[in-house]
């Protein structure tokens, strides 16, 4: 039991507020450094692709955004489930904090994908399975945030949106595979050169650095946003008044 | 619960029968979505072109998009009146499993909103120059698909019960979840119109229906409880 007390303490808002505040620089500074290093490695050091030339370099923003948009949704749904089952307010706060971050990454992924598509496929938007399922993921985020904003009562908003997040996460694989199925049946002409030769190390290392940097950036942003949520939720609590008095 | 005198099957039947009876008293609740369905389908020839060759090409998509929009419209009536007159609260307090009662309720809604669409669809498809041979597949796909839409939509409708802005929000929640149904429904119809075997997408629709019937009432009952708090 003793090993779990740190975990239970984490669920108390004042404790978490302090911890999260201390964690922000620990996540944020490496995030900035790693992302900067990864971007530099990707844009300057990595050799141009033999087929796509310099255009492929957008992958250093595109792929980490895609990964994070999915990870944020999973985090959101897991936090929502924890909040719903054990009635932990902080878990709801984390879910609420993750949604706008995830939506931003989904949007960033779509925007960079569109920019990438212009020189590669000759069009800003292609009804490609990956782009389309990413678009639907963005819609799921928007629906979640719309539902949250429709309630005045925060607790109700928490629990209703938690149910939606769980329903959504059950549906994400169904949507994903049906979109792929739809696409492969509808078009055989689009030449997406996925695969090809394996990525050389000089391209891969900056990409992995970017992945790590973006993920840490999410952690830092989530800490800041959860702190904001805690401030909003606990605005009448005694510990906050003490904190602001000192 | 020893105090219960009504069995599960009986309770479900009572809820189901009540909803069907009420719908027959308020007949426009059933007919308005169908009229809307036909009207939306009419918009496309006006907007695109009356050319039969073109219409035949896009007919499966038009019929399915119109059906999807119409089923969204029908969701409005699923819980609203029962929330206003307290029936929903009584169902929650009845001691019967709420998910089970909502399953019966959603089945009634499927019968009253989906089946009329499936019946009206061949007429609409024929007006869009679709061959009559595709009608059985079209009806089957709409029958199965509208079931999934009813169950998914019931979760959305229950979630938005307590909120200020009902209908637009409901569409925002349900439409992304409904995309797979649209994909496979339109695909089955398209295959049937080309005279090819449409068994694959129909089976996938049936699988989604089974998944929705199994899981959606549970989410729906959680959502109703949250809305009633």
φ and ψ of B15, to 5 deg: -65, -45
Q: Give the residue among B69, B107, B187 at the shortest CA–CA distance from A186.
A: B187
Residue-averaged pLDDT of chain B: 89
Ordered by start, the domain boundaries in chain A are 66-76+97-187
Q: How far apart are CA A55 and CA A46, in angstroms?
A: 12
Contact state of A164 with B162 under an 8 Å Cβ cutoff = no
CA distance B44 to chain A (A): 22
Chain A within 8 Å of B22 (Cβ-Cβ)?
no
CA distance B21 to chain A (A): 31
For residue A241, the tally of other CB atoms under 10 A from its CB is: 10
Contact state of B223 with A163 under an 8 Å Cβ cutoff = yes
Contact state of B227 with A159 under an 8 Å Cβ cutoff = no
Map tokens 């895609």 to a residue. A66
φ and ψ of B7, to 5 deg: -75, 170
Distances from the Cα of A241 to the Cα of A232, A236, A244, angstroms: 13, 8, 5
Map tokens 């307590």 to a residue. B162
Q: How far apart are CA A222 and CA A157, in angstroms?
A: 19
* DSSP code of residue A4: G
Is residue B6 within 8 Å of residue B96, measured between CB atoms? yes
Q: Show residues of chain A in contact with B216, CB under 8 Å.
A: 167
Q: Show residues of chain A in contact with B219, CB under 8 Å.
A: 163, 166-167
Chain A within 8 Å of B177 (Cβ-Cβ)?
yes
Q: For testing the chain A interface, which of B72, B158, B167, B172 should be mutated: the one with the most A CBs within 10 Å?
A: B172
Ordered by start, the domain boundaries in chain B are 8-228
Find, in chain B, the residue whose alpha carbon is nearest to that of A167.
B219
Q: How far apart are CA A16 and CA A24, in angstroms?
A: 12
Is residue B224 within 8 Å of residue B79, measured between CB atoms? yes
CA distance B25 to chain A (A): 32
Q: Give the residue among B30, B188, B203, B189 at the shortest CA–CA distance from B124.
A: B189
Which residues in chain B (110-139) have CB-CB distances under 8 A to chain A?
Answer: none
Contact state of A178 with B172 under an 8 Å Cβ cutoff = no
Q: Show residues of chain B in contact with A129, CB under 8 Å.
A: none
pTM strictly above 0.95: no
Entry field: residues in chain B: 229
Contact state of B219 with A175 under an 8 Å Cβ cutoff = no
* pLDDT reported for residue B51: 86
Q: Give the residue among B107, B84, B219, B91 at the shortest CA–CA distance from B159.
A: B219
Give B35-80 pLDDT, tens digit per residue.
999 999 989 889 888 888 888 888 899 999 999 999 998 888 888 8
Find, in chain A, the residue whose alpha carbon is nearest to that of B217.
A167
Token representation of residue B25: 């008293």
For residue A49, the SS3 value is strand
Find, in chain A, the residue whose alpha carbon is nearest to that of B179.
A175
Contact state of B172 with A163 under an 8 Å Cβ cutoff = no
| Residue ranges, chain A, pLDDT below 50 | 1, 187-197
Distances from the Cα of B118 to the Cα of A25, A219, B135, B142, B174, angstroms: 59, 49, 10, 5, 20
* pLDDT reported for residue B142: 93
Q: How far apart are CA A200 and CA B32, in angstroms?
A: 61
ipTM of the complex: 0.85
**CA neighbours closer than 13 Å in the CB half-sphere of residue B122:** 13
Contact state of A164 with B159 under an 8 Å Cβ cutoff = yes
Q: What angle do CA B60, A131, A189 make, to 5 degrees?
A: 65
Token representation of residue A113: 């994908």
Q: In chain B, what are the helix, strand and coil shares in percent, each to the nearest 5?
A: 85, 0, 15
Q: Render the burial of A193-227: b for 16+ CB within 10 Å, e for the rest.
A: eeeeeeeeeebebbbebbbbbbbbbbbbbbbbbbb
User: Nearest CB to A185: which of B155, B177, B187?
Assistant: B187
The alpha carbons of chain B give a radius of gyration, in whole angstroms, of 18
CA distance A17 to chain B (A): 28
* pLDDT reported for residue B1: 47
Give B93-105 pLDDT, tens digit per residue.
988 899 999 999 9
A99 Cα distance to chain centroid: 8
């Amino acid at each position: 039991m003793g090993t779990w007390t740190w975990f239970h303490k984490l669920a108390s808002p004042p404790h978490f507020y302090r911890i999260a505040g201390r964690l922000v620089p620990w996540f944020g500074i490496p995030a900035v450094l790693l992302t900067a290093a990864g971007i530099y490695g990707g844009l300057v050091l990595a050799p141009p692709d033999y087929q796509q030339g310099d255009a492929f370099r957008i992958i250093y923003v595109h792929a980490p955004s895609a990964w994070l948009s999915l990870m944020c949704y999973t985090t959101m749904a897991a936090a929502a489930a924890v909040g719903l089952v054990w009635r932990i307010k902080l878990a709801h706060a984390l879910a609420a904090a993750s949604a706008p971050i995830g939506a931003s990454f989904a949007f960033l992924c779509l925007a960079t994908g569109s920019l990438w598509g212009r020189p590669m496929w000759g069009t800003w938007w292609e009804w490609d399975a990956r782009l389309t399922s990413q678009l639907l993921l963005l819609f799921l985020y928007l629906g979640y945030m719309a539902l949250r904003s429709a309630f005045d009562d925060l607790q109700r908003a928490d629990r209703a949106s938690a149910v939606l997040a769980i329903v959504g996460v059950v549906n994400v694989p169904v949507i994903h595979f049906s979109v792929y199925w739809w696409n492969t049946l509808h078009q055989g002409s689009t030449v997406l050169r996925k695969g090809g030769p394996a990525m050389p190390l000089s391209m891969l290392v900056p990409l992995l650095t970017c992945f790590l940097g973006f993920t840490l950036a999410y952690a830092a942003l989530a800490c800041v946003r959860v702190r904001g949520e805690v401030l909003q939720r606990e605005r009448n609590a005694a510990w906050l008044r003490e904190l602001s008095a000192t | 619960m020893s105090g219960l005198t009504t069995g599960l099957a009986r309770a479900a039947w009572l809820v189901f029968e009540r909803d069907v009876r009420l719908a027959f008293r308020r007949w426009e609740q059933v007919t308005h979505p169908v009229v809307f369905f036909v009207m939306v389908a009419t918009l496309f020839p006006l907007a695109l072109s009356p050319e039969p060759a073109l219409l035949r090409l896009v007919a499966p998509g038009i019929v399915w998009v119109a059906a999807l929009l119409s089923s969204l419209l029908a969701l409005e009536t699923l819980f609203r009146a029962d929330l206003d007159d307290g029936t929903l609260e009584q169902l929650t307090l009845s001691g019967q499993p709420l998910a089970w009662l909502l399953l019966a309720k959603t089945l009634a809604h499927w019968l009253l909103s989906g089946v009329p669409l499936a019946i009206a669809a061949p007429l609409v498809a024929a007006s869009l120059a679709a061959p009559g041979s595709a009608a059985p597949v079209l009806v089957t796909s709409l029958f199965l698909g509208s079931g999934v839409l009813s169950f998914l939509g019931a979760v959305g409708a229950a979630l938005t019960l307590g909120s200020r802005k009902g209908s637009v929000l409901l569409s925002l929640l349900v439409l992304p979840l409904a995309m797979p149904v649209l994909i496979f429904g339109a695909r089955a119809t398209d295959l049937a119109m080309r005279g090819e075997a449409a068994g694959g997408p129909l089976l996938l629709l049936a699988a989604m229906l089974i998944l929705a019937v199994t899981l959606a009432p549970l989410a729906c009952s959680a959502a109703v409880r949250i809305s009633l708090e």
